[in-house]
Amino acid sequence: MSDFIPVNEPLLGGNEKKYLLECIDTGWISSEGPFVKQFEELFAIRVDRSHGIAVANGSGALDIAVQALRLEPGDEVILPTFTIISCAASLVRAGVIPVLIDADPVTWNMNVEQVAERITVRTKAIMVVHIYGLPVDMDPIVELAHQHGLKVIEDAAEMHGQRYNGKPCGSFGDISTFSFYPNKHLTTGEGGMLVCDDPELAERCRSLRNLCFQTKKRFVHEELGWNYRMTNLQAALGLAQLERLDEFVLRKRAMGERYTALLKEIDLLQLPLERTDYAENIYWVYGLVLDDALTFDAEEAMNRFAANGVGTRPFFWPMHEQPVFKKMGLFAGESYPVAERLARRGFYIPSGMSLSELQAERVAGVVKKVLS
Ligand SMILES: Cc1ncc(COP(=O)(O)O)c(C=O)c1O
């Protein structure tokens, strides 16, 4: 269907082509090229951090964060159950025990009030994940981490340009991570970044990203790393996108406000919260949650949207309900009712950077049709 409205389309109309051509003209296409360093430096400055380490994707950034912080088998890390599998996978692969927290029904972020009761003598870190457009309430997390001597890994994959009480998301973790997948506010096709302030930690992340090659004896390894390097081609895109980040945030906020104006009269539908005391939504995606009074679930709703030419994506499926983790014997008997409900009743509608006002209006029309 030619007038199908995809769930996401990036906007690449700035200096992307110019910088990519520069890569081709100069022959710098690998991770050794100059754009990588430039992108790392400018991105780190943008989030008020001293160091940026560009990587192949946001999932790899989390793998590196867990190992860089020397989390070990048997350590516990607290994280939300309502998130992408990359978060829990980075822990499970390292033998670290993921300890889950339910979601908040209004912000969809982790329920910060539940964190303290899950801290044990084995807890070593809290992995915070900002979900869909609003940041997690960071002050209580930072205070708990301080009180108990815990590290904070801040997964800011969805939060480019977002702020918590005026401070950039990505400035709160011992290590914070980002993704640059094309549905993000800033894309490099595939890509990610770790940011931190400690120079030794930054060096360790750089080494883990690059197979832990050594400077003196290159092919002699003291530790196992990954090849998670970002190419100069990706960084070229990233630089061009970073130049427009403020504009992208404004575009997405305008999209979110437009959708809310169009949809707020509809009963039986929960829309994203516009703001909290500490942040304005940046609408990474515009999520909808069906009221329990509706007889159909998110899956049926998404089928109906597809039949009307509108792309959607389901909400995250909770970690404690993942078959892969159940097979490993993880989370047996655990239940997190808010996340379970969000997974079954929630999905998001087209929220990409290229969405036009006309498309948003058409999508809103389909929402009304599908729900009636
Ligand atoms: C919260 C969160 N963390 C991590 C990731 C993983 O990033 P990537 O797709 O770049 O591996 C994503 C991807 O969307 C995400 O939303």
For ligand 1, atom 5, the nearest C-alpha belongs to 58
Minimum CA distance residue for ligand 1 atom 7: 58
Confidence band (pLDDT; 50, 70, 90) for 372? Answer: confident
Q: What is the mean pLDDT of the chain?
A: 97
Question: For residue range 337-369, what is the model confidence (pLDDT) as tens digits?
Answer: 999 999 999 999 999 999 999 999 999 999 999
Strand ranges for the chain from DSSP E:
51-55, 76-80, 97-101, 123-129, 151-155, 163-164, 167-168, 175-179, 192-196, 269-270, 286-290, 313-314, 346-349
Q: Greatest CA span in the chain, whole angstroms?
A: 68
Distance (Å) from CA 310 to ligand 1 centroid: 23
Distance from C-alpha of 277 to C-alpha of 192, rounded to nearest angstrom: 29
**282-331: pLDDT as tens digits:** 999 999 999 999 999 999 999 999 999 999 999 999 999 999 999 999 99
Q: Whose CA is nearest to atom 3 of ligand 1?
A: 157
**pTM attached to this predicted model:** 0.98
- Written as six digits, the tokens of 337 are 């009712």
**At residue 299, what is the residue type?**
E
CA of 119 to the centre of ligand 1 (A): 25
**C-beta of 86 in contact with ligand 1 (< 6 A):** yes
The C-alpha R_g of the chain, in whole angstroms, comes to 21
